[in-house]
Amino acid sequence: MTGVPVPYSVVARRQETNDTATLRLRPVAEQLPAFAPGQFAMVHAFGRGEIPLSVSEIPPDGGLCHTVRAVGAVSEALSRAREGEVIGLRGPFGTTWGLETAVGRDIVVIAGGIGLAPLRPLVHAVTADRARFGRLSVLIGARTPADLIHADEIAQWRATFTGVTVDRPDDRWRGHVGLVTQLLDSTHFVPENSTAFLCGPEPMIRSAARNLSHRGIPEQRIQVSLERNMRCGTGHCGHCQLGPVLLCRDGPVLSWDRAAPLLGVREL
């Protein structure tokens, strides 16, 4: 669905960090078609405008969750939305993580900062159907402990399949300090039988994807979610162009063998 925004009500709000919140939404009447992990919606703050937001959870009741960081007028308005407020959604848009192609393989998930949000539905899908996949490893990096989103859930994951690192620890941090790729040295997976899923800042994506490729995961099985300035969501305005790719239409998820040549060109 790509036309008029469909009203959704904020039924719960969780403050993740100083500038980031997660909104749990429920349709007021009409419901959008089902979303899949990796896709995004165009989210409309009435009177302000709309922005693309990845889905950070797909609840079974037909609602959606979006995790939004306040970096502009629209995202700030959305991040401050309270229970009972109505916002508009269009979608679903974009490509999915293609999790079905990873059945039977080890799963390596690498998230940087708010990049955990679009990866979260994928982790939920794998943990809900463990028998279909091999080992699951989730590696998460953040600037500081205070910048970790979905911290309570990460604490639950850490007992079994998650490693966490920060760039700048505080006095209470007892975990790893450094680049998220450093966690790969203690991560167990069989490269030739693994699929990796990455989202975060582009420097992190480039570093992690190259590291995984060097370890033996085929580039076509390294899936990355990229971000550009999306406006229309339908591939018509060109704002999200990355070389020959329009990310709102052809992405945001691309395989690394396709994304690497594009991210290697400075002008793009």
SS3 state of residue 124: helix
Strand segments (E) across the chain = 6-17, 20-27, 40-45, 49-57, 64-69, 86-93, 106-112, 136-142, 162-166, 176-177, 194-199, 222-225, 241-242, 245-246, 253-255
Q: What is the pLDDT of residue 236?
A: 77
* CATH no., domain 99-263: 3.40.50.80
* Percentage, residues of the chain above pLDDT 90: 84
Domain map (residue ranges) of the chain: 6-93, 99-263
Q: Is the pLDDT of residue 137 over 80?
A: yes
Q: Is the peptide bond before 5 cis (omega within 30 degrees of 0)?
A: no
Please write the tens of the pLDDT for every residue from 227-245: 866 767 777 787 888 888 8
The strand pairing partners of 139, in sequence order, are 110, 163
For 14-63, write each residue's pLDDT tens digit. Answer: 999 999 999 999 999 999 999 999 999 999 999 999 999 999 999 988 89
CATH level 3 topology of 6-93: Elongation Factor Tu (Ef-tu); domain 3 (2.40.30)
Torsion of CA 230, 226, 18, 13, to 10 degrees: 70
6-93 against 99-263: fold identical: no
The rounded distance, in Å, linking the Cα atoms of 95 and 97 is 7
